[in-house]
Structures are given as structure tokens and as C-alpha cells.
Amino acid sequence: MLEKTISASQAKEQFGRLLNEVSSQSRSVVIEQAGQAMAVLIPVEHYRQLKEQRAAFFAMVDEAQQRTSQVPPEELEAAIAEAVSAAKVNNHSTSH
């Protein structure tokens, strides 16, 4: 996705044109104030995808919490440490 950065005052002056750019060109616009990014204008379809991804992520978190609610913390920590070690080994072997 194409991205451009503009100041808040430019965004205010050009808001209608920015909306058209974002929707028709699948472009995102970072809006800055005093040189600091404050907001992003993105196409509505991208926003919907982000919402769906966020909902799916939290559904997985909730499911994991439910499945592990009866597991002792020490057992969970050991399983997590084992999974992290295995992932590091796997990542190291595939990057070389």
C-alpha cells in the first residue's frame, strides 16, 4: 500500500481530496502534528481487515486462556520456554 505523510494543517485543507486518494488509490496517509505522527487515514477495506484480524487474535487468546485455565503456572512456563527454544533452533537452522 502506498503511503504519504502530511501535516495536520494540510490534511485539514485537503481532506476531501485525501479521502478520494485513500479510497481510489488504496493509499494511506500519515497525519503529523509538530513532526510527530498522530493518525493514519486508511482505506475502509483495510480498516475492516484490521478489525477482523484483531477479533480473530483475541478469540485465539480467549481460547488459549480457557484451555489452559486449569494448568499450573509452572507447567505453562515450562511449555512456553520449550516452545521458544524450539522456535529459536528452527529459526537459526532456516536462516543459514
Residue 96: the pLDDT is 61
pTM attached to this predicted model: 0.65
Report residue 86 as a C-alpha cell. 524450539
Tell me the pLDDT tens digit for each residue of 49-84: 999 999 999 999 999 889 888 989 899 899 899 989
Residues 6+ away with beta carbon under 8 Å from 2: 25, 26, 27, 28
Most confident of 33-37, 74-78, 79-83, 91-95: 33-37
As a whole number of angstroms, the distance between CA 94 and CA 21 comes to 41
